[in-house]
Amino acid sequence: TEEVLDFMKENYPVDTTKIGILGISMGGYGALKLTVTHPDIFRAGASHSGPIAFPVFLEPDPLTGINVLGAMLLENPVYDSAGNVLGYRIPYPPLLDQEHPLTTMMFAMAGAFSPVVKPREEYDTLNYEFPMAQLPDGQWLGVILPIDTTAIPGDTVGLRQDVWEQWLANDVFTLMGQNYTLLDSLNTGLYIDCGDEDELFLQYHAMAVHDLLSNLGIEHYYEVFGQGPLYPPDRFPARHGTHLYLRLRESLKYISDHL
């Protein structure tokens, strides 16, 4: 929090008594987390397509019946010599690219919420511990995913609880449930939106946070949007990174109204 404020003070002529913050994707997560944990500093926060409800990763998708952890494994099939699928396992090194969007997202989140530093030989890649980069002292910086060797596509029994608890300690949805009294008393502005065809399934995060805030009686702005002006759905579906300029008009106005 202090790093963000110090950067703003040093680089822009800002009124630090009236601060709002917004972001897209992990930036949206960060904006809402800062707002929820420091509503005395940030009067309003906005998340565009952010991963803001980690428990949703464990819920089956309504269309496929598979949760995000299972879908991530499905991106990583293991084949036999004849090209038949033997099973699913994240390889080392992992395939982090546009063809593996869920795998890439979960590794990025593990880098933030469950990083680890230890000798390379101590990493158990069979239990989803991955060394990623060697440090100057010879140790390796890596990540641990919140699944274990019993996990199968669509299953949550293989959840690695110790790692999952690390994630939940940083989960916006969980933090909102803990801080809602303060958010309400300070009339904190909370803005959430997401495209209805988000390829990372983050529209369900927006829905979950909306339901939580509604049940708690917390005022907020929420929208899962589809097509927009000049964005025909056949050419520009409402996905993770589309429609941002249209959405910024809404979030900036909302934040301005709450400062």
Q: Are residue 139 and residue 111 in the same domain, yes or no?
A: yes
Q: Are residue 10 and residue 47 in the same domain, yes or no?
A: yes
Show which of 120, 147, 168 is a domain's final residue. Answer: 168
Q: Are residue 175 and residue 149 in the same domain, yes or no?
A: no
Show which of 148, 168, 188 is a domain's final residue. Answer: 168
> Strands 115-118, 140-144: parallel, antiparallel or unpaired by DSSP?
antiparallel
120's enclosing H/E stretch is none
Number of Cβ within 10 Å of residue 24's Cβ equals 20
- Look at 158-162, 182-186, 214-218 and tell me which has the smallest mean pLDDT: 158-162
User: What's the pLDDT band for 120 if we cut at 50, 70, 90?
Assistant: very high
Q: Are residue 125 and residue 182 in the same domain, yes or no?
A: no
59 part of a folded domain? no
133 part of a folded domain? yes
CA–CA gap between residue 14 and residue 27 (Å, rounded): 20
CA–CA gap between residue 134 and residue 142 (Å, rounded): 9
Q: What are the phi and psi torsion angles at 214 (to 5°)?
A: -65, -45
92 part of a folded domain? yes
94 part of a folded domain? yes
In the beta sheet, which residues pair with residue 190?
Answer: 45
Q: Which domain holds residue 192?
A: 2-53+171-257
Q: What pLDDT, on a 0 to 100 scale, did the predictor assign at position 155?
A: 53
Q: What is the DSSP letter of 231?
A: B
Which segments of 83-189 does DSSP mark as H helices, in order? 101-113, 161-168, 172-185
Q: Are residue 144 and residue 164 in the same domain, yes or no?
A: yes
Q: Are residue 128 and residue 149 in the same domain, yes or no?
A: yes
Q: How far is CA 257 from the centre of its chain?
A: 26
- Quick check: 161 pLDDT over 70? yes
For the stretch 196-248, pLDDT in tens is: 889 899 999 999 999 999 999 999 999 998 866 666 667 778 888 887 888 89
> For 236, left (φ over 0), alpha (ψ -120 to 50), or beta?
beta
Q: What pLDDT, on a 0 to 100 scale, did the predictor assign at position 231?
A: 64
Q: Are residue 186 and residue 142 in the same domain, yes or no?
A: no
Q: What pLDDT, on a 0 to 100 scale, did the predictor assign at position 232?
A: 67
The total domain count for the chain is 2
60 part of a folded domain? no
CATH value at residue 230: 3.40.50.1820
111 part of a folded domain? yes
CA distances from 57 to 102, 113, 186, 233, 235 (A): 11, 15, 30, 26, 28
Q: What are the phi and psi torsion angles at 232 (to 5°)?
A: -60, 135
